[in-house]
Amino acid sequence: MFRILRPDRVGNRMGQLTEIENQRRRGNMRLQGMKRLSGLWLLALLAAGCARAPVVIPMEPMEAYAFRQTQGGVRVAVDPFFTVERTRGAFHGGEEFAEKGLLPVRAIIENASPGDVTVNPRDFQLIRPSGQTEVALSTYDAFARVRIPVGWWGLGAGVVGGSVPAYRNEARLKDIEARALRETTLHAGTSVSGFVYFALAENELNLAGSRVVFPLRGPANREMVYEIPIAGRQDIPVPPRRLDTAGSTPPPGPVTPEGPARTEGTGGRGVIIRSPAQ
C-alpha cells in the first residue's frame, strides 16, 4: 500500500536530506583541513629538529682568558658571553638572549692546590658599577627569561604532540641546563667549567665596571673570595689579552732628522741652517 505525501512534507524531507549531505561535506572538509594542518606541523617540527646542535666549547689555557684570578693555587677565569655571535654559537636561540635580558658567564676553575675545593654556582654574584647586586639565576629562571610564548593554538597541537614554539623552548631549556656549572668538589689537579646565568637590564650594552664575585672553599674549609672585573660591549667584541713575553720590542726612541734643519734666527739674523752632523 502506497502512502501519498503532501507536497509540503515532500519539500521538508528533501530539505532535511540536503542539510544532512551538507553537514557530511563540511565534516569531510574539516577532516581534510586537520590532516593538512597536522602535516604542516610535522614538517615544521622536523625542520626545527634538524637545527644545528650547539658546538662544543673547548677549554683554553688559563692565560688565554682576559678576566682571571689566582688564590692559593686555585686559578679561576670568567668569560661573559655578551655578543650575539657567541651566544648564538653556544645556545639554541642564543641570538635573543641579550635582548631578552640574559647574560651567560662561563666559569673555568683549575685546582692546582694540594687539597679539595668546593664549587657552588648559587654563590656567584654580578655586581654593577652602581653597587647593585644580581645573584646567579637557577637554570629554570634563566630559561624563563628567554622562553618563547606559546599561544592557545600551540597547546598540545596536532598528532605530533607539541607545537613549534614548545619544541624550540625545549631545545633552549636543554642547552641552558646542559651547559650550567654544577655544584661539585674539585680534587687536586682537576678542573671544571660551566655557565652561570645573570639577569641583564633592558637594552644594556656595556659591561664595563661590572665584576663577578664568588667564594670557593679550599682545604681546611678555608674560604677564598674571588672578585674579577669584567668588560664587554655587544657592538665591540673584547680583544683577547696578549701575553707578556720577554724580549718585547722597546718603544722607538727619538728620530734623527734625515736632512738639514731649518731654524728661524733671532734679532734680525735671518735663517740658520744646521746639518744633521752638528
pLDDT at 11: 55
Contact 113, 190 (CB under 8 A): no
Residue scoring higher pLDDT (110 or 151): 110
Q: Tell me how far CA of residue 14 lies from CA of 8, 21, 28, 151, in angstroms.
A: 10, 11, 21, 44
Q: Could you tell me what percent of the chain has a pLDDT over 70? A: 60
Mean pLDDT of the chain: 76
Alpha-carbon distance 87 to 237, whole Å?
13
Report the amino acid identity of residue 98.
A
Inform me whether the pLDDT recorded for 248 exceeds 50.
no
Residue 20, Cβ neighbours under 10 Å: how many? 10
Q: Residue 29: which pLDDT band, with cuts at 50, 70 and 90?
A: low
pLDDT digits (tens, 9 = 90+) for 41-68: 444 444 444 445 556 788 899 999 999 9
Q: Residue 151: which pLDDT band, with cuts at 50, 70 and 90?
A: low
Could you tell me the pTM of the whole model? Answer: 0.66
pLDDT digits (tens, 9 = 90+) for 105-141: 999 999 999 999 999 999 999 999 999 999 999 999 9
Residue scoring higher pLDDT (44 or 189): 189
Report the amino acid identity of residue 208.
A
Q: Residue 251: which pLDDT band, with cuts at 50, 70 and 90?
A: very low
Contact 112, 200 (CB under 8 A): no
Q: Is 38 exposed, middle or buried (0-12, 13-18, 19+ CB in 10 A)?
A: middle
Inform me whether the pLDDT recorded for 15 exceeds 50.
yes
Q: Residue 149: which pLDDT band, with cuts at 50, 70 and 90?
A: confident
Residue 22 CB partners (closer than 8 Å, separation 6+): none
Residue scoring higher pLDDT (69 or 274): 69
DSSP assignment string, 158-227: TTTTS-HHHHHHHHHHHHHHHHBPPPEEEPTT-EEEEEEEEE--TT--B-TT-EEEEEEE-GGG-EEEEE
pLDDT at 275: 43
pLDDT at 25: 72
Residue scoring higher pLDDT (126 or 243): 126
Alpha-carbon distance 22 to 15, whole Å?
11
Query: What CATH topology corresponds to 68-229?
Result: Immunoglobulin-like (2.60.40)
Of 19-33, 183-197, 202-216, 220-234, minimum mean pLDDT range: 19-33
Q: Three cell numbers at 209?
A: 665596571
Inform me whether the pLDDT recorded for 277 exceeds 50.
no
Residue scoring higher pLDDT (30 or 45): 30
69 phi, psi to nearest 5 deg: -160, 150
Q: In the beta sheet, which residues pair with residue 217?
A: 118, 223
